[in-house]
Structure 1
Amino acid sequence: MIPMLLRFLAKAIAGFVGLTLVLVVLFKFVPVPITATMLMDGNGATRDWESLDNIDRNLVRAVVAAEDSRFCEHSGFDAEAIEQAWRENMEGGRIRGGSTISQQTAKNVFLWQGGGYVRKGIEAWFTFWIELIWGKRRIMEVYLNVAETGIGTYGAEAGAQRYFNHSAARLTPREAARMAAAFPSPKKRAVTNPGGWLARHGRRIERRIGIVRRDGLDACVYK
């Protein structure tokens, strides 16, 4: 009985690893057609895949500023950000995460939303492989095409068209900052005419776009 179970587990693990590598290699070259989040979105999924060449660099700088300032330095996991998030969560107050853009991309493409150690473990597995096989430029390109940017809206192009009535190829720093400010919770955060904390947060991101540009914190995306 036990040898049969072990053989079954070995085959299941081998199948999972093989499927993982096939999907990761495939999506290095092919646009991601749909994700679990899109499929489960009761509002539908408006999206329009665009090459990174057709997405304004202001948005790349804005998401680096807002989400992952060490994107070009880490290999998928930011230990410092994870430790800081853990300390702040232990102290109480608003729960925050320490996920990198790479981790968010792995989750958005291959997995589902929500927490849980099992999902986080599988997310780490996919994060390792996309860092190794895709590289930073492809990770950013996929992230900006599959991230939820509004109710039933996914990707930079669909978001730019929805909020600003023009292409993501020409976003001002303010427009890019407002989109990046809403990325973590686009169903609840207003991109146009934000107020209060969200407006202040958008202005902080807009200022940090200049820092990202000055310090070359997005340089790995454009090598």
Structure 2
Amino acid sequence: MSSRRPLGRRLLLWTLLAVLAVSVLPVLVLRVVPAWTSSFMLRYQVDNLFAAEERPPLRHQWVSWKQISPAAKLAVIAAEDQRFAEHIGLDFEAIGKAIEHNRHNRRTRGASTITQQLAKNLFLWPQRSWVRKGLETGYTLLIELLWPKRRVLEVYLNVIEFGPGVYGVEAAAQTYFRKHASQLTHHEAALLAAVLPNPARFRVERPSSYVENRAAWIRAQMNRLGAATLDAL
């Protein structure tokens, strides 16, 4: 009987170490190390190997916070998560509004924050399920606990998809505007942010009327939020 207790404790210890190794450790490392790739980028490359038709090669280049235009930072906050500086990774106010909206509308509305989208893109997969949502919530809280807000936004802008094979704001700036991310204007940044809900469907280079209208709305929100939004991070 006594020999089983140490065995059980060792098993529990190894389980805890395994959880730390696959969750906490990667989050800690990425707090200081550039995210050269992500789960979504790896998935894109694997899918390319088995695609029946030729697809664009993956384009991605890491840039630091200082190498990203303030307009790009403000645009994604305006478009995706205007309470980014205030919440803890989960925006309960937005979740409540989304639930109420979805009760009365066929077209559902999500309430994912920038941190939740980052957690999904870095570590998980696109298909929705309760398992993925649970893991996403855990990674989200870990990121918010271990990273400053500026780091969250910096990594998000470096890994998010802006079009087929185009990952990160530097690759997007060079692909669509032939310039660096540090040189993006408000108009260009708003166009990039406007396609984020569905970069596989919406196009920066050939914006539909929906994308143009959304970009105009994003610019108006950027003007309303102002530079103080970034200063608060």
Tell me whether the two structures share a fold, i.e. TM-score over 0.5.
yes
Distance 2:101 2:15 in 1: 38
- 2:31 — aligned with what? 28
Is 2:209 aligned against 1:206?
A: no
> Once the 2 structures are TM-superposed, how far is the Cα of residue 137 of structure 1 from its aligned partner?
0.6
- State the secondary structure of the residue aligned to 2:183: coil
For structure 2, the residue ranges without an aligned partner over 5 or more in a row are: 49-54
Measured against aligned partners, the alpha-carbon deviations of 1:162-213 in whole angstroms (never above 9, x if no partner) come to 1111111011111000000001211211213423222111100011111121
Tell me the matched-pair count.
219
Is 2:96 aligned against 1:93?
A: no
What's the TM-score, normalizing by structure 2?
A: 0.87
Partners of 1:71 and 1:100 within 8 A in 2: yes
- 1:59 — aligned with what? 72
- 1:175 — aligned with what? 188
Which residue of the other structure, out of 201, 207, 224, is the alignment partner of 1:194?
207
Measured against aligned partners, the alpha-carbon deviations of 1:136-168 in whole angstroms (never above 9, x if no partner) come to 010000000000011111000000111111111
- State the secondary structure of the residue aligned to 2:115: helix
- 1:37 — aligned with what? 40
Partners of 2:202 and 2:208 within 8 A in 1: no
> Cα RMSD (Å) of the superposition?
2.0
Matched to 2:116, the amino acid is Q
- 2:150 — aligned with what? 137
Which structure has the greater CA radius of gyration?
2
Distance 1:213 1:202 in 2: 16
What's the TM-score, normalizing by structure 1?
A: 0.90
- 1:151 — aligned with what? 164
> Once the 2 structures are TM-superposed, how far is the Cα of residue 10 of structure 1 from its aligned partner?
6.7
- State the secondary structure of the residue aligned to 1:149: strand
Runs of 4+ more than 3 Å apart: 3-14
Percentage identity across paired residues of the two chains: 39
Is 2:32 aligned against 1:19?
A: no
Partners of 1:59 and 1:171 within 8 A in 2: yes
Distance 2:15 2:99 in 1: 33
